[in-house]
């Protein structure tokens, strides 16, 4: 449950917000005049529990919301401020400077308003949970879920894109997928997206320090998920350092409950850097000896370095009883229980080629069911098979 305060004298706008708000939340409308007061004056008019989100109506003058948002940002950083105003460059810049979290079009229909309010609520919850850690730094809140394998072509992108689409259903606008296959990433193609911006834009300039700018570089997907797409040219991957990727992932985890990372084959520097942050590791493995051997060696190294994420799920892909290997053989070799077994299915390459993940298309076949169960397991917070306690953080340079 989140509590919203709305500053507006516009009856119609207030009513539309009230109707758009999920019944689990609370909303109180304060008149436009309240916006001329200080942050404390506004909160003094609150007659319910602690305030999570303040929505500033389109009838509030710029100098008023600018001063108020600055005051809230300085004195009440846990509160998320959302501005309803027709967006233009001047408004966006002023909003950025004053700490406003999101701008919504006042003419938005009920479903768009509802999504914007839900997003603000999720962010507010995250801010409250992100208390300082030992080092005085804000701690990550969202789950960081890298999808990895030593080998290529085993289904990492298939699993990660479906996770993003599936998790976006349970957390609207709450899932982001980052394509960390920096040279040959195919998340954009797997999701049928044509990105205007890529990770190159996100790790440089203002985006690296400002979450609102960072979000402008994400590409929205019709499912409600967001994608941070790989560089357009393989050579651009060289401009991105592992430490920048780690900072980006950490920053996204402050904004999104689920940060899914598609990765390149192997355990390169980028994967090692994000393993430091990972909450849930997903290991994809084919039912063939080279894949299993590769994964076994990779996991051995990570265990020695104490770099295994706190929770790990093994996804066995291309499972085929006729392969001569059983699920138990694989489990015994790599030392993880299979959290999910996905058979070979013609629907998968079809969905890859169409740029429509299985969970989006709704074509229910055994792989669809397996992927859906994996999503449900993660969103229910079930600790999957192969879990162990928190690990010492090994330094990766």
Binding stretches for Mg ion (CB under 5 A): 156-157
- Give me the least distance between CB of 194 and ligand ADP, in Å please: 19
> Going residue by residue from 11 to 50, which x/- string records binding to ligand ADP, judged by CB under 6 A?
----------------------------------------
344 touches ligand ADP by CB under 6 A:
yes
In the 3-class helix/strand/coil scheme, how is the chain assigned residue by residue? CCEEEEECCCHHHHHHHHHHCCCCCEEEEECHHHHHCCHHHHHHCCCCCCCCEEEECCCCCHHHHHHHHHHHHHHCCCCEEEEECCCCHHHHHHHHHHCCCEEECCCCCHHHHHHHHHHHHHHHHHHHHCCECCCCCECCCCEEEEEECCCCCCCHHHHHHHHHHHHHHHCCCCEEEEEECCCCCCHHHHCCCCCCCCHHHHCCHHHHCCHHHHHHCCEECCCCCEEECCCCCHHHHHHCCHHHHHHHHHHHHCCCCEEEEEECCCCCHHHHHHHCCCCEEEEEEECCHHHHHHHHHHHHHHHHHCCCCCEEEEEEEEECHHHCCCHHHHHHHHCCCEEEEEECCCHHHHHHHHCCCHHHHCCCCHHHHHHHHHHHHHHCCCCCCCCCCCCCCCCCC
Stretch that binds ligand ADP, among 155-163, 192-200, 321-329, 373-381 (CB under 6 A): 155-163
Contact pick of 34, 317, 360, 379 for ligand ADP (by CB under 6 A)? 317
268 touches ligand ADP by CB under 6 A:
no
Contact pick of 348, 356, 358, 375 for ligand ADP (by CB under 6 A)? 348
- Give me the least distance between CB of 283 and Mg ion, in Å please: 14
152 touches ligand ADP by CB under 6 A:
yes
Contact pick of 63, 129, 349, 364 for ligand ADP (by CB under 6 A)? 349
342 touches ligand ADP by CB under 6 A:
yes
Task: Choose the contact partner of 253 out of Mg ion, ligand ADP, none; CB within 5 to 8 A by kind.
Answer: none
162 touches ligand ADP by CB under 6 A:
no
155 touches ligand ADP by CB under 6 A:
yes
């Amino acid at each position: 449950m989140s509590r919203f305060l709305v500053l507006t004298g516009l009856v119609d706008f207030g009513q539309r917000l009230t109707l758009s708000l999920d019944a689990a939340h609370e909303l109180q409308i304060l008149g436009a005049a309240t916006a001329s007061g200080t942050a404390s004056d506004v909160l003094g008019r609150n007659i319910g529990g602690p305030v999570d989100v303040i929505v500033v109506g389109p009838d509030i003058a710029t100098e008023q919301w600018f001063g108020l948002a600055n005051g809230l940002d300085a004195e009440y950083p846990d509160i998320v401020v959302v501005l309803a105003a027709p967006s233009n460059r001047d408004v966006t810049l002023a909003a950025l400077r004053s700490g406003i979290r999101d701008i919504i079009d006042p003419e938005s229909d009920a479903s768009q308003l509802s999504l914007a309010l839900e997003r603000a609520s999720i962010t507010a919850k995250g801010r409250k949970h992100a208390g300082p850690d030992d080092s005085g730094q804000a701690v990550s809140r969202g789950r960081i879920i890298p999808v990895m394998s030593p080998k290529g072509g085993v289904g990492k992108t298939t699993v990660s894109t479906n996770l993003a689409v599936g998790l976006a259903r349970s957390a609207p606008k709450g899932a982001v997928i980052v394509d960390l296959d920096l040279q040959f990433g195919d998340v954009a193609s797997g999701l049928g997206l044509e990105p205007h911006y890529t990770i190159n834009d996100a790790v440089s300039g203002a985006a690296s320090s400002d979450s609102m700018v960072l979000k402008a570089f994400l590409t929205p997907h019709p499912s409600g998920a967001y994608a941070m797409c790989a560089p357009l040219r393989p050579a651009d991957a060289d401009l991105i350092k592992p430490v920048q990727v780690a900072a980006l992932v950490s920053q996204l985890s402050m904004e999104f409950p689920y940060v899914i990372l598609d990765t390149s084959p192997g355990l390169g520097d980028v994967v090692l850097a994000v393993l430091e942050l990972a909450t849930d590791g997903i290991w994809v493995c084919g039912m063939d000896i080279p894949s299993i051997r590769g994964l076994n060696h990779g996991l051995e190294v990570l265990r020695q370095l104490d770099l295994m994420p706190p929770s790990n799920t093994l996804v066995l892909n291309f499972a085929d009883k006729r392969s001569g290997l059983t699920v138990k053989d694989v489990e015994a070799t790599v030392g993880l229980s299979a959290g999910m077994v996905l058979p070979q299915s013609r629907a998968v390459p079809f969905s890859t080629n169409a740029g429509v993940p299985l969970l989006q298309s709704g074509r229910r076949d055994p792989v669809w069911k397996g992927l859906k169960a994996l999503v449900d397991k993660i969103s229910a917070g079930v600790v999957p098979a192969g879990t162990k306690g928190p690990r010492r953080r090994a330094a990766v340079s």
